[in-house]
Structure 1
Amino acid sequence: MNMDRDRETDINFDFLRGVIMGAAGCILVLLSALTIAQYAGKINVAAGLKWDENGMSKEAVEIKDKAEILSSYINRFYLNDIDYGKMGDIIYKAMVSGLDDKYAAYYTKDEYKDISEKTKGEFCGIGAYISQGKNDNSLKVAGVVKGGPAEKAGIKKGDIIVEVDGENIQGKDSSYAVSKMKGKKGTNVSILVMRKGNKKPITFNIKREVIHDNTVSYKMLDNNIGYISVSAFETVTKKQFKSAVDCLEKKNEKGLIIDLRDNGGGLLDTALDMLDQILPKKLVVYTKDKNGVAEEYYTKDDKEIKIPIVILVNGNSASASEVFCGALRDYGKAKLLGTKTFGKGIVQSSFAFRDGTGLKFTTSKYYTPKGINIHGTGFEPDIKVKSNGKMTALKESGYKVDNQINVALDYLTIALKSKR
């Protein structure tokens, strides 16, 4: 989709892979990949992978041996020709699905190509933001691109995607669903959704278009309080966020509202770059892998925004959004306003293979500067305000804003007066 985006915080590592030959060979290759992924970034994976039973559990060795036996029987007795490519993809996906990790996925060549394109900010899709349900893995439309194909067709925020081109994608990885929605410019895709209040599903036939991912919008509200909305943490977001910050500073902003509602995350590097626009050189997040090995991430320079900040959040604010919120709150730079965040305090690493396929799974937990991990719990806002859906016009600027923005404006206005 547009925002046909995978909603995880991704750290990318590339490594070489040989051509897969036969079912047993497929399994050996993938098991090797799983072993090395535990140390992603700590080992020179570019040198290639070798099978080593010494580091494997008894159960893993048994799987490898059983696979070799199955392969022998199939090669000897199966009547028809064997499509090893299809067999391999099914084996890989089955292995990854057995990890008990809802964020894990194995991608075929076409799937990984589509998924990799999503962070470039321009691609052919329908222009809808997708978030994955916390408890049921449902794929919900978190928003649509203004003027995009999805909006024109009538897809609305809150719609739950059930099928794409006749394929049931309920419970599937969000990245897989997104790759199904993308395609060549001018081609059509059929989307079946369930909508609150409707007993029957609704089908939309949508023509794919090039989607220009404008992930940041901004404006100056009343009392010289700036407002920046960030819909996702993509590659293009870095430059767009910097432009917004610079423009509002030139307009002499006194306070700032950063809207991360319904922002399900994206790239960790982008979150770090955005924090660098606000915080001086500091530790902003660190991760720990299964062996307790930590990796720390810092902002790069001493540039700092010295104005009061409120960050708007809700239950769909997740992953990179929570990294961003956690750092600014830990250092007393911002107050969170809204409802409790999603609670995704883990990091997925993605691995690109030489044959064009890819692999992704959870490799570490992340912690705020004060050592807080919010996985499964989320951040409770400093100022709890539920959205009532009502819009009112501001007195000075005339902009229509919702009740949560209004409360943020009131809070910042009082904070600014107290400093005088």
Structure 2
Amino acid sequence: MYLTNARRAATAIALVWGAAASAETITIATVNNGDMIRMQGLTADFTEQNPDIELEWVTLEENVLRQRVTQDIASNGGQFDVMTIGTYEVPIWAKNDWLVSLNDLPEEYDAEDLLPAIRDGLTVDGELYAAPFYGESSMVMYRTDLMEEAGMEMPEAPTWEFIEEAAAAMTDKDNEVYGICLRGKAGWGENMAFLTAMSNSFGARWFDMDWQPQFDSEAWATTLDTYLRLMNEYGPPGASNNGFNENLSLFQQGKCGMWIDATVAASFVTNPDDSTVADSVGFALAPDAGLGKRSNWLWAWTLAIPAGTDSEEAAKKFVQWATSKGYTELVAEEEGWANVPPGTRTSLYENQEYLDAAPFAQKTLESIQAADPTNPSVDEVPYTGVQFVAIPEFAGIGTLAGQEFSAALAGQQSAEEALEKAQALTADEMEAAGY
């Protein structure tokens, strides 16, 4: 009997090892944002459905992720089978034949349910090249208790003038409460995402119709002066090091009167498990300067598959799972409807359970639908993109300009010097690129 039991045990071990040996591993590069961290915690659902696929995660800070995946796909490095990329990269990389088309996802995936504003940005020549994990615009998140104490009422659609008045009224530096928190960390997708969207509302442009940089314009001077004044007088110390995640933490700790940033943050600032001010958060549209353009952007963090992967079918199964209606329902079941990935599907904004649970839902949808990538600023521009310029060179020049503006915020140079340097370096890069 002992030998029989031993043989059975050996057979079971062999079967386990055989299954492990035959499992296909896919490597997923993603950003360290809250929704992606939550996804990693729920992937047992995927592996139970797909026991022949193992998942390996590479989770990186936003700027580092962008650098790593761009280097890998441009060199055909093959490190990743699924990449977390955004609305900026997808059309550029698709035109370079760097991405696998997702047009063959099964009918039950229901690609037609994707919000048109989000889907259109991920589609080239009728082919969908990335699946949106969440979509976002930007809006004002604010402390309703501090606004009330200041004797003020946030409008549904505030101006920058009102924002500055409210920031002054809510600032209490002795108690580490700052009237406003904004991105200061350098990066084309960090401080320049915010500043580019802000500049649109002041009538600024990256380029005129002849592709000449416009940092020497009065509109850019007004944008940067306003931003630096807000941050220097009413913002937290060390703001030049703060990006999305750092400001999220500050707001959750009750240290920001207002925070203007991605709509996706709303579920995290209203979650009592994470936020000390969850019961006193209000929402408003991103500010304007009275010129007809608000400072809201348009973005989606997406899952895409690099061309040349050896695990295309397994990668597609994961992408389908992570961006499906079923995944939304899984998050709702595990974490509550308010915490599902927002901004990707029409059906979510027709779901009364979600609308009841998420006080920010309507503002998010309104902000996404109001952003116009084809007409982002007051004056005509030769490019598309709201908080970015949809050309390959933008990642480089956006980061360089962001470094200059971050240095100005840190007090290392004046606004005028930062704008002069941004103008010169952008002109040099664009001339070298042949524009």
When you count strand as a share of all residues, which structure comes out higher?
A: 1
When you count helix as a share of all residues, which structure comes out higher?
A: 2
Which TM bucket (shorter chain)? Answer: under 0.3
Q: TM-score, normalised on structure 1?
A: 0.24
